[in-house]
Amino acid sequence: MILSVSRRTDIPNYYYDWFYNRIKEGFLYVRNPWNPNQVSRLGLSPGAVDCIVFWTKNPEPMLGRLRELSSYNYYFQFTLTGYGRDIECHVPHKKEQMIPIFQQLSSQIGRKRVIWRYDPILFNGTYTPEYHLKAFSQISGSLSGYTEKCVLSFVDSYAKNRRNMEALGTYGLEDGQLVEFAGQLSKIARANGMEPVSCGEAMDLSGCGISHNSCIDRELIEELAGYRIKARKDRNQRKECGCIESVDVGTYNTCQNGCKYCYANFSPESVRRNTRQYDVNSSLLCGKLTEKDRVTDKKMVSFQEGL
């Protein structure tokens, strides 16, 4: 089984101690976001977990304790963009803090296991195509030699983030302009030794050197694990997504990064309400079991081919 930690919230930044406790205890509970009283118990045996994929904008809190993950295969999806705090409200300064943290993480675990995400890309009066090209070039140069892959995607509008997108005055590019812009990003990434790939994009950007990507990447997981994986495409993701199946252990409405484009938070108040329930010793992230909950054991088995 593959653990996604997590598309729903930034566990490495805010809930790392909870996750390390769960690794130590050997299990965790996760609510079904569409049926909250349905709770799954997930066993975390290294023999059943083929890989852990971490998603984060700031993994610094985890860095001193990575040895506690020595029994697991894992890699990081590290989002690092050119936005200021008007867009990514609680993310530390990129040049002064986040780029050095990226470099430190890569030096600790190897550049193959740290994927740089420059996403999502949105355009408005401040964050123009020209701004992104300059920011992308500067960050690429700083990360040269510290990663092998750069993931690119363009912002999507959901019901949960549409009001924020309208308030930011975002706009789109014509297809031809978008392809030209993506081609420039591709050239910059390759000049800095990185493979540029897209994430969940319907548009085919292969003509400008950007291939479709799998963030939960079968090939990378097989390389880290040392065996072939028999997982299917993740049916819970969009059809454009190439990720293989995984189990997400996060909880919606708990991410404290405050990003304006976020689809995983309904509102700042919902985040405040849920984070008040955070207990580092709870088996659930930001919550406790109630009498109404139905707990079932989810069968956690390796995807190793031949087992």
In whole angstroms, give the CA distance from residue 19 to residue 4.
Answer: 12
Question: What tokens were used for 216?
Answer: 């939960």
Distance CA 172, CA 10 (A): 27
267 by Cβ neighbours in 10 Å (0-12 / 13-18 / 19+) ranks as: exposed
| pLDDT score for 223 | 97
CA 37, 38, 43 angle in degrees (round to 5)?
Answer: 130
Whether residue 10 contacts residue 255, with contact meaning beta carbons closer than 8 Å, is answered with yes
The predicted pLDDT at position 160 comes to 65
- DSSP H helix total and E strand total for the chain: 8, 11
Residue-by-residue pLDDT tens, the chain, 307 positions: 999 999 999 999 999 999 999 999 999 999 999 999 999 999 999 999 999 999 999 999 999 999 999 999 999 999 999 999 999 999 999 999 999 999 999 999 999 999 999 999 999 999 999 999 999 999 999 999 999 999 999 987 666 677 888 888 999 999 999 999 999 999 999 999 999 999 877 788 989 999 988 899 999 999 999 999 999 888 777 777 778 999 999 999 999 999 999 989 988 999 999 999 999 999 999 999 999 999 999 999 999 987 7
257 contacts 83 by C-beta, under 8 angstroms: no
Element (H, E) at 218: helix 218-225
What does the alpha-carbon distance between residue 142 and residue 80 come to, in Å, rounded to a whole number? 11
* CA gap 273, 286 in Å, rounded: 9
Residue ranges of domains in the chain? 2-298
The pTM of the full predicted model, rounded to 2 decimals, is: 0.95
